[in-house]
Amino acid sequence: MSNQMNKDRVKAAIEVLLAEVGEDPTRDGLARTPDRVAKALEFLTSGYEQDLDAVMNDALFSVDYSEMVIVKDIDFYSLCEHHLLPFFGKCHIAYLPRGRVVGLSKISRLVDVFSRRLQIQERLTNQIAEMISEKLNPLGVGVVVEATHLCMLMRGVEKQNSFALTSAMLGSFRENSRTRMEFLELLKLRGDMRSALDPARVPEESSEGALK
């Protein structure tokens, strides 16, 4: 999935879009808009280009430490692949090391790499968990993502579904409810949100996701 964006083609497409929504693409305020949109899109989808090995590999450390590592409240911004509108919120990550940890700043870089793509929240959550699992080979990893979806809010439909909570629990976080609860307690999620994240109650990830 490379992102060799052809800016001229993107600009031409945005000009078409502007005309189709009833605008005059040549008026002063819009003259540079196709160029701005192309640059913005290039940044917002830059996650396709990032080399995750380069991001992670030079920041892995061997340690004699086996307590839970938890990184809370990582801000992220992404684009829903169904409407190309933003969804954004916070990502919380925890893992139980098996002799290896990663620099904390790399964890948020990892979140950026996967969020700066066209996404659905469920896949974003799973990709983060699986990459940490692959790179660190921890005893377990848990990822919780809470996000607001502008495609729901702005289109005025299903306002009650504009906020979504997703989780991915692997290894000991899936198998051991005490480990999982320790993580969820540390997040101080509301009780009803916590029980919604009990893997026993969450069906296996669907490819489409709940948010359409």
Catalytic residues: 80-83, 121, 149, 151
Report how far residue 82's alpha carbon sits from residue 51's, in angstroms, rounded to the nearest whole number.
Answer: 25
CA distances from 83 to 24, 48, 54 (A): 23, 19, 31
Contact 43/7 with Cβ under 8 angstroms? no
Q: How far apart are CA 172 and CA 141, in angstroms?
A: 7
Of the two residues 185 and 208, which places its CB atom closer to Zn ion in the complex? Answer: 208
Which chain residues interact with Zn ion by CB under 5 A?
80, 82-83, 151
End-to-end CA distance of the chain: 22
Residue 163 burial (10 A CB sphere; 0-12, 13-18, 19+) = middle
User: Closest distance between Zn ion and the C-beta of residue 169, in Å?
Assistant: 25
CB of 89 or CB of 171, closer to Zn ion? 89
Q: Which is nearer to Zn ion, 82 or 90 (CB)?
A: 82
If the CB atoms of residues 80 and 111 are measured against Zn ion, the closer one turns out to be 80
Element (DSSP H or E) covering residue 48: none
Least distance CB 87 / Zn ion (angstroms):
7
β-pairing, 60-62 with 100-102?
antiparallel
Q: In the bound complex, what is the minimum distance in angstroms from residue 154's beta carbon to Zn ion? A: 10
Q: Where are the beta strands (DSSP E) in the chain?
A: 60-62, 69-80, 86-96, 100-102, 118-119, 140-149, 163-171
* Minimal distance, residue 120 CB to Zn ion, in Å: 8
Residue with smallest beta-carbon separation from Zn ion: 151
